[in-house]
Amino acid sequence: MKKKERIEFIIQELERLYPDPQVPLSHTSHYTLLIAVLLSAQCTDERVNLTTPRLFKKADTPEKMMHLELEEIEEIIRPIGLTKQKARALKELSKILVEKHGGEVPSTFEELEALPGVGHKTASVVMTQAFHLPAFPVDTHIHRLAERWKLSSGKNVVQTEKDLKRCFPEALWNKLHLQIIFFGREYCPARGHDKKQCPICSRI
């Protein structure tokens, strides 16, 4: 199958399997989405979703978060891992949002990536899911599948993002990144992957 045909097949199959993918992290605002995505680094979405209700009950705005004691944040988010690093980032970025952005989450990569604990992938998720601006966040699932599907060399996530943006129409990026994540979890795992049973790998 030629690359162009492979890309078209992947789009069609993902659309068939996941016609309406939803953000897997529970959130109620741009701010709680940002916090949930930051906390999900090196942690499962399920674990984050079990932890954030208690956190957001105490602080679902940057104003409330900046006034929580660091120890209190640490105690709540401990099950997520990287506790001290993430707790410090939550408190510091919340203070910056209040002092520099009027308590609102900014809508540019430059401003988002300037916040403590916010890398390019976190910023990309917020840009696409909160503000519906074109971005292609690359997590471990997307990085793995891009290489398996021969859409990227897989050297690093930066290169994978560039390659995927060249492969797929910009209008599809926001939806595709969720579709690929769900597909990777359900059909195309890192370990124990049965290529013959995979709806995409078995056909390309």
Q: Specify the residue for token string 């930051």.
A: 38
Contact 101, 111 (CB under 8 A): yes
Contacts of 161 (CB under 8 A, 6+ apart): 136, 138
Q: 135, 124 in Cβ contact below 8 A?
A: yes
Give yes or no: 139 in active site. yes
Q: How many Cα neighbours within 13 Å face the side chain of 66?
A: 13
Q: Which amino acid is at 152?
A: S
Is there a contact between 116 and 98 (Cβ–Cβ < 8 Å)?
A: no
- Do residues 70 and 88 make contact, with C-beta atoms less than 8 angstroms apart? yes
| Catalytic-residue membership of 194 | no
Query: Catalytic one among 45, 95, 139, 165?
Result: 139
Burial 35-74 (b: 16+ CB within 10 A, else e): bbbbbbbebebeebbebbeebbeebbebeebbebeeeebb
List 60, 86, 91, 121, catalytic entry: 121
Q: Annotated catalytic sites, by residue?
A: 121, 139
